[in-house]
Amino acid sequence: MGYKEEFIKFMVRSGVLLFGDFVTKSGRNTKYFINTGNYRTGEQAAKLGQYYASSIKEHMDNGDIPADTRVLFGPAYKGIPLAVSTSIALTEQYGINANYCFNRKEKKDHGEGGNMVGYKLQNGDKVLITEDVITAGTAVRETLPILKGAADVEIAGLMVSVDRMERGQGEKTAIQELYEEFGIRTFPIVTVKEVLDTLYNEPVDGKIYIDDEVKKSMEEYMEKYCVL
């Protein structure tokens, strides 16, 4: 089993990849939902960082991400533990000693001040943004001014756990829009299509999560809202 299939089952076991009746932030009714706020243990954080690190290393090896990228930025709040756990995993698994930093939601007006924590960005740094799930790309649009305001950095890409493959502000996916607007490539560990293909009639710990009925509902949703 490859790391993608392992990651999908890890999300199910962690109660992060959920199936049922949900409403997305954009008001769409969906049969599946990804709630990364349900990660809550040290073991889960460690494994999550390992999956991110595996995907980053794969993209570095094939030239998608510059091999000399050494900064991970985690947008507050969910991106913060991702940047930290991924930097640890990169060091332990591949000997890549990456710096990490993240922003505060509110600017600090005492002590050292500012709204950045961790590594101090330098001109010329290659920065990889670590996020959980991309839907409309709003978080990235908010992040770019923060990074560019700190130093003249190069954005090496955006790492996310799942690409829902949904349309963003227009008829294209948020990933396509971010690339066309900012030239930033997004690298999901898995896509919702891979989730469907992996879990359809495939039990996880003896339970089938995507049967014929759920598959039909997911395909109808994807046909309506996704760019496949």
If one counts the domains in the chain, the total is 1
pLDDT of 108 reads: 56
pLDDT of 209 reads: 97
Segment 123-131 shows an average pLDDT of 96
Residues spanned by the domain of 178: 3-225
pLDDT digit string, tens, across residues 39-51: 999 999 999 999 9
When pLDDT is cut at 50, 70 and 90, the band that residue 200 belongs to is very high
DSSP string, 78-147: THHHHHHHHHHHHHHHH----EEEEEEEEEE-STT-EEEEESPP-TT-EEEEE-SEESS-HHHHHHHHHH
CATH number at residue 160: 3.40.50.2020
pLDDT of 142 reads: 85
Task: Indicate which residues carry an active-site annotation.
Answer: 108, 110
Segment 171-197 shows an average pLDDT of 92
